[in-house]
Chains A and B, each alone.
Chain A
Amino acid sequence: MRKTNNLILETAIKVLLFFIVLYSVYIFTAGHYYPGGGFIGGLMTAGAIVLLLITYDIKTVEELLPVNYRILTAIGLLFAIGTSAGSLLFNVPFLTHAFGDVHLPLLGELSLHTATLFDLGVYFVVVGVTMTIIQTIGEDE
């Protein structure tokens, strides 16, 4: 197979990635109010990384993002567990959430909500899991 350059894609990807990641972060934070949430946000982020993988290759991306995705999964789980188990410290049932509303400019209504932290755990797990799967299979091929 002849080598081809990928100049157009590689150039465009820089902007597009920004878009996609922004969107995924948005969709993650907005989850409590609009459709979305940690799960779908995580998948979108993973999508962005996949786009990177397609454009470049596993090695390059590893240099770019030196993340062990299995550890990321574990961290995500720790986040979720930690948030839920935090309520044990206050002697209320497991997973009890607390919240307070904050209005931020630009992003609109954002609540400081322990549920968001929980959702962040979900987010990390989903990114970690999806990337583990894709990377593992990709490396095997």
Chain B
Amino acid sequence: MKKSICVLFVFWHLFVLWSMTGCWNFREIRDLAIVIGASFDKKDDQIYLTVEVLSPKGGEQEQGATGSLGITPQLFEGSGKTVFEAVRNMISKAGRKLYWSHARVFIVSEDVAKEGIIQIIDWINRDAEVRPQTWILVSKGQAAGDILRTQSKLFDTVSMQIDTLLRNQGNSGKLLGVTVGDFLEEMQKPGVGAVAPIIESVKDGREQIPQVKGSALFKGEKLVGFLDGEETMYLLFLRNQMKKGTLIAVTAQQPKANVSLEIFRSHTTKTVRLVDDRPVVDIWVDCLSGIAEISEENDVISERGSQKLTERTNKELRNKITDTIKKVQNEYGTDVFGFGNLIYRERPDLWETIPKGGWAKVFPTVDTNVNVNIMMRGSAKLSEPTRIGE
């Protein structure tokens, strides 16, 4: 009996506690301003933050709209000396508490990235609400806020469009989605430079729409250069991140001799060996692909034609990849391919001989040896090139 009285007391007390102190973390869902995307700009030592917010209040205005959410996103801007201050200053404008857990993309302007991105990355990683699984992008040549001001044609918000695009990585093979967590890891890891995709706003018809293409290269926390879409594709090959379904085009010397290939599977192996006390990285790209489009009358499907095509493709891909490596080595000097990390992983003894912080000097001198091996399989629905009748 006594025991049950005690138990009753506990429950009664819990009730008292509950009703007296309220619920600390209690957040009413309708009071939230759900941040779906944010951008960071910098002007005169001030961080300008633009956030795209979804809030049910907007939903009432748009009742009956055809969009899947029926909500127009709202944009808010705030500024401050630090990211945190900018976020806090925005509360006075938005009126509701900004809720960051659903944020999909963070866009950093080129200027901010050039000065160093660590401030933003640290805030994202430290804050319990912001998730490291958010995409990070760099806006090239424009204010990052302008990207959020563009129109999205098929999606409710720009951020959702970018999110869907990056999640599927497109079939273009020309972009490389990077989350903040991955970015941070690459920034911290020895012997590898971080990469982020580039976002631009382009004119399409009458409207400005966002476009993700190419990649921004970082050395440490600072942006050092860009790769265009084509080069990003070779970067993907080198980082072994080529997705299936990507289309690549092979051009031959003579006109009207183009063939498009669809990649079914691709795997890149990198190994390191020593030649005259200097590291040489061997790269093997194994690629399973099929013909998706033939724009010449030549026979590329028969055994001989196929062999010729394969050789041509191998050579071309090898050259392009080597060119990309050269370009990065000479112009930017940041090891976005992870050669240093490869050495660190596979030859830690060799890595130790490089003085701390000296990899940046060694990297441009690393020799690479690229081998491409494409296997052709299939030619979609047609067994022959489309012939033109006499």
A, B from the same assembly: no
